[in-house]
Structure 1
Amino acid sequence: MRITCPLCGARDRREFYYKGDAVALDRPDPAAGEAAWDDYVHNRDNPAGPTRELWYHESGCSAWLVVTRDTRTHEISGVDLASDLAADVAGAGA
């Protein structure tokens, strides 16, 4: 699989570190109980289809990327700098 870094161009996926789902998880209240924390720590969705994932360009420019990828085919339909998306979200709240 090749990931096209917006800063470095197309690179082999071995240059990147997979962090997980790019959608923020809702952290339970500290007093929520053991079951809520067990679910938060150990259980994740495993969708078949398009997902947004967080990747770190470890052997390159050290940028965090949000990669839109189909988990069934590994086809990548988009790569964005996470910092650009964060700035867009911050700007929308202003």
Structure 2
Amino acid sequence: MAGAIAQARPYRCVLSRLNSTQRETDAMPTFNIQLFEGRTQEEKRKFVEAITRTTCETLGCEPGSVDIILTDVKRENWATAGKLWSEQ
């Protein structure tokens, strides 16, 4: 899976922070991931399954505690190093 993720187009990931009353093992990780639009449902399904599996193996949590929010972004709305992806 690492090779597949490494070859994927850019994405960002944010893991939610714990509040002061939560124990680390009680945390429900929430990932907010922005992707260039155009991926298929099957690609997204495989991606979220892999993230969930790896998160559970790493944090020792149950799959039901892992939330993933995917946001499709148009290339015209994403820039890197001062250049829009739609113009590269």
* TM-score when normalising by structure 2: 0.24
More strand by share: 1
* TM-score when normalising by structure 1: 0.23
More helix by share: 2
